[in-house]
Each structure stands twice: as C-alpha cells, then as structure tokens.
Amino acid sequence: MHKETLYLTFLELFQNQFSPEDEKSILALVEKHHAADLASVMDQLEPDQAAHVLRCMQTVKQAEVFGYLSASVQQTLVDQLDIHQITRIISAMDADDRADFYNNLDSEHQQAILPGLAQAEREDIRKLSSYAEGTVGAIMTSDYAALPLNLTAAQCIERLRHEAPDKETIYHAFVIDGERRLLGVVSLKDLILSKPGTPVAALMNTDVISINARDPQSEAARKIAKYDLLALPVINGDDKLAGIVTHDDAMDVAEAEATEDIHRMGGVSHKSPGLSNVNMLEASTWLIVQKRIPWLLVLVFMNIFSGAGIAYFEDTIEAVVALVFFLPLLIDSGGNAGSQSSTLMIRALATGRAHMKDWFRLLGKEVGVALVLGVGMAVAVSAIGIFRAGPEVAAVVAMTMVCTVLFGSLVGMSLPFILSRLKMDPATASAPLITSIADIGGVLIYFSIATWFLRDMIVAAGG
C-alpha cells in the first residue's frame, strides 16, 4: 500500500468512533508496513492520532517506528503517552537511537524516565550521552558483537547465535582482549566457511580501520565510504572498544553534512535550530526567515561598495552611457565563474581530493582555465558590443570580460582554501558571498578599464 493511501486509510478510521475491529485494522496495517513508512505517515497525523496508532503496535514495532520519527514528533508524542509506555519504548530501542531520543528530551522528562530503565540501559544512555554533539561518540551504538581471543570458529558462531537478537549487526565481530582493547575483526562469512576448530586468532584481520570517539562524525562517514565498511569500530582514549558506527548511521551523517553545506553555500544560516530536519512545508515562516536573513543583511552592506564604485566613476558613465548596458552582463559573468570554481573546490576539499598543499598548483591551473573561459566569453559579447555601442566600447567589454572571469574564478577557488587554513568550514564560501565579492571587483575592473581605454571620449564629453 502506498504511503499516501495508508495515510488516507488512517484518517478514515479516525473519522468514526473506534471499535475493537478498528483497532485490529490498525494493527494489521502497521504489521504490513516498514517502520520508516509508518513514521513518515505518523508525521502527518495529529498528535493524538499518531499516539493512538503507536499504542496499537507491539513494543518492538513501537521502538522501530519511534527511531524513525523526527525529534519534534517524538517530543510531541512524549506528551501524549504515559511514562510507563515511554519507558517500554526506550528499553526496546537501539542503543544509539535511545541516546539520541534521551538527549532531545527536557531535563524533567529525562529524570522521570531514567528510574524506569534497567541499570545497564541507564549506564549505556549516560555513556553515549556524554559525548559532544557532532562527535563520533554521539552517533555510535554499543550494540556490537565482540568475541574473546581464545574461541574457535564453532564457539564464535554459537556465541553470535545467542547474541544476534540484541546486536545492531553480526556480519563483522570484533575480537578483544580482557581489557576490551581491539585486537582484530572477523567476518561471519569467514567463521562459517572455516573448519569448526580453527582459532579465531587465525581468522581475524588485525589491520583494523577504526576511529576515535572524539573525532568528528564526518570523518566516520568518510572512512566508511572510503573503505566500504558495514560497521566502523570506535575506540576511546585508552584504545578500548567503545562502540561501532554502522553504515546507515554514516549515511544519515553524510546527508546532514550535505544539507548543512548546501545551506551554507546558499547563504542560509546553519545555526538556527531545526530547519535541516524539518519538511519545508512544516517549517514556520519565522524559522525560515531566521535561517536566511543573517547572510542577506551582510550581503546588503557588502553591495554598498558596488554602489560606491559606480558613484566614483560617475564622470565615465556620463561620458559613455552605453557602458551601463553591459554592466549586469559583466559582473554576473564574474560571479557565475566564481560560484562554479568555489563549488568544485569545496567538493574537492570535502572529499579529500584536494589539500592545502595543492593550492598553488590548482591556482595555476585555474588561471589557465579562467583565461580560456574569459576569452571565449569575450568573443561572444564582442559582437553585441560592436552592434550596441561601437568598436571602442566592444574592446572595453571584451577586456573586462576576461578580467572579471579571471578575478571571479580566482576568488571562488581561493576562498575555500583560505577558510580551511583559518579552521573554518569551506562551505561558508557560499555562492552569494562569492557573487558579492565578484560584483565589487567587477565594477571596479570594468570602469577602471573604461576610464583608461576611453579617456579621449571622456575628455571630449567633458569639454
């Protein structure tokens, strides 16, 4: 059943007085659908309706669905459910989802929920919640499969068979010593295919790719993508195994990072709460304004310099009015070239395909590329310049086109490197910022060339 159809079915049921048959209908519906689909439908229901659907589910299904709900919907449902229902759901959730949900609660709900949890679950929540937002520790799970070094392949399989229901993944198990130091990793495939008596020490891979719990989340996503891992082991300061980051969590991090970068590149503030996780149809007007207005205000005042540049060359403009016709074309071309260059460099830095040491090498390449682009665009606009204002203005437009494209491209390429050097996010070199800098430079370049090249026409007009 399509999600939209499922939503309409729920609405139809809620229009009438609920009967035991309706309760059975909801239970049958939720059992047929994936938790992610149910969560997306429940996001659209009224809070009391979503809570009613949740109550009709088995506890395991409740936990699965709850993990897919947005933080805002989770918080709303907390107010609809009693504390015992919430405690049961939390107990059944995956460790990382449980910690995320706990962190999103206010202190009053946190204090109310903790006493109802088992000691192990309380300690697990406290441990995972102790890591700062944005670090690997904040997204790792403690539900991993660990094996001691003294087992055989058959013993490992038997142990994994008993532990599987409570683990995030068993496709890779991590071999540890008595102090939980990470010694190696062994795949379930190798355990199954080997002889029963083979020691796990002979099967494990000791060259383990791992990450520190204090490292940034983006580094975990990068390593999982680079080495094609299902799970990345996380170690703490003592090199002891603290948890794992799974492939699906890395995808969530990558999506969040991409969303944040796109917001920055569009000149949208990423510090205002919540927009990256909210459907644009659900986001309030004020929230969207908060996200967009900071950069727009900064750019408004930056563009004053463009106006000042135009005012400075007032005599040139009065003498050759035709120059104004080409002004938008030229400065927009510089901004567009800069935005292209900036996007390519930000992507290269983000994926690790470019580093600070490559700046000068890439700078030389960008000069060559920008000159070719500028000359090509100059030839294209020259014909318009001759037709519109004569050969003299056409020459000015052609020279300016080459210079503005070169200037915009170099600014667009260099700014991400400069920001990286200053330990700032390169994505802050947003398209609006590049465009504004290119606009200011384009105005100064254009009218400086015009004043120099057309000086005889300007003097004659002034006389």
- What is the 3-state secondary structure of the chain? CCHHHHHHHHHHHHCCCCCHHHHHHHHHHHHHCCHHHHHHHHCCCCHHHHHHHHHCCCHHHHHHHHHHCCHHHHHHHHHHCCHHHHHHHHHHCCHHHHHHHHHHCCHHHHHHHHHHCCHHHHHHHHHHHCCCCCEHHHCCECCEEEEECCCEHHHHHHHHHHHHHHCCEEEEEEEECCCCEEEEEEEHHHHHHCCCCCEHHHHCECCCCCEECCCEHHHHHHHHHHHCCCEEEEECCCCEEEEEEEHHHHHHHHHHHHHHHHHHHCCCCCCCCCHHHCCCCCCCHHHHHHHHHHHHHHHHHHHHHHHHHHHHCHHHHHHCCCHHHHHHHHHHHHHHHHHHHHHHHHHHHHCCCCCHHHHHHHHHHHHHHHHHHHHHHHHHHHHHHHHHHCHHHHHHHHHHHHHHHHHHHHHHHHHHHHHHHCCCCHHHCCHHHHHHHHHHHHHHHHHHHHHHHCHHHHHHHHC
Asked if pLDDT for residue 424 goes beyond 80, the answer is: no
Asked if pLDDT for residue 265 goes beyond 60, the answer is: no
Asked if pLDDT for residue 272 goes beyond 50, the answer is: no
Q: Are 87 and 117 in contact (CB under 8 A)?
A: yes
Strands 182-187 and 231-235: unpaired
Using 50, 70 and 90 to split pLDDT, how confident is the model at 401?
A: very high
Reported as a single tens digit per residue, the pLDDT across 52-103 is 888 888 888 888 888 888 878 888 888 888 888 888 888 888 887 888 888 8
Q: Are 258 and 268 in contact (CB under 8 A)?
A: no
- List of domains in the chain: 3-130 (1.25.60.10), 144-252 (3.10.580.10), 285-462 (1.10.357.20)
Q: Which two tokens stand for residue 138?
A: 């904040």
Asked if pLDDT for residue 281 goes beyond 70, the answer is: no
Q: What is the mean pLDDT of residues 135-141?
A: 89
Using 50, 70 and 90 to split pLDDT, how confident is the model at 258?
A: low
Give the integer Cα–Cα distance in Å for 159 and 149: 13
Nearest to 176 by CA among 199, 150, 153, 203: 150
Q: What is the mean pLDDT of residues 253-275?
A: 59
Q: What is the mean pLDDT of residues 239-258?
A: 82
pLDDT score recorded for residue 232: 93
Using 50, 70 and 90 to split pLDDT, how confident is the model at 273?
A: very low
pLDDT score recorded for residue 445: 94
pLDDT score recorded for residue 16: 58
Backbone angles phi, psi at 199, to 5 degrees: -65, 145
Reported as a single tens digit per residue, the pLDDT across 151-203 is 999 999 999 998 887 788 889 999 999 889 999 999 999 999 999 999 999 99
pLDDT score recorded for residue 282: 59
pLDDT score recorded for residue 442: 92
Reported as a single tens digit per residue, the pLDDT across 439-462 is 999 999 999 999 999 888 887 776
- As a dihedral over the C-alpha atoms of residue 344, residue 350, residue 353, residue 359, rounded to 10 degrees, the angle is 70
Question: Average per-residue pLDDT in the chain?
Answer: 83
The single-letter code of the amino acid at 375 is V
- Min mean pLDDT across 260-269, 400-409, 439-448 is at 260-269
Percent of the chain with pLDDT over 70: 86
Asked if pLDDT for residue 122 goes beyond 60, the answer is: yes
pLDDT score recorded for residue 202: 94
Using 50, 70 and 90 to split pLDDT, how confident is the model at 38?
A: confident
What are the distances in angstroms from CA 187 to CA 151, 191, 192, 202? Answer: 14, 7, 9, 12
Buried b (16+ CB within 10 A) or exposed e, 385-412: bbeebeebbbbbbbbbbbbbbbbbbbbb
- In degrees, to the nearest 5, what angle opens at C-alpha 342 toward C-alphas 337 and 347? 135
Reported as a single tens digit per residue, the pLDDT across 324-361 is 989 998 988 998 898 888 888 887 877 677 887 888 88
Asked if pLDDT for residue 463 goes beyond 50, the answer is: no
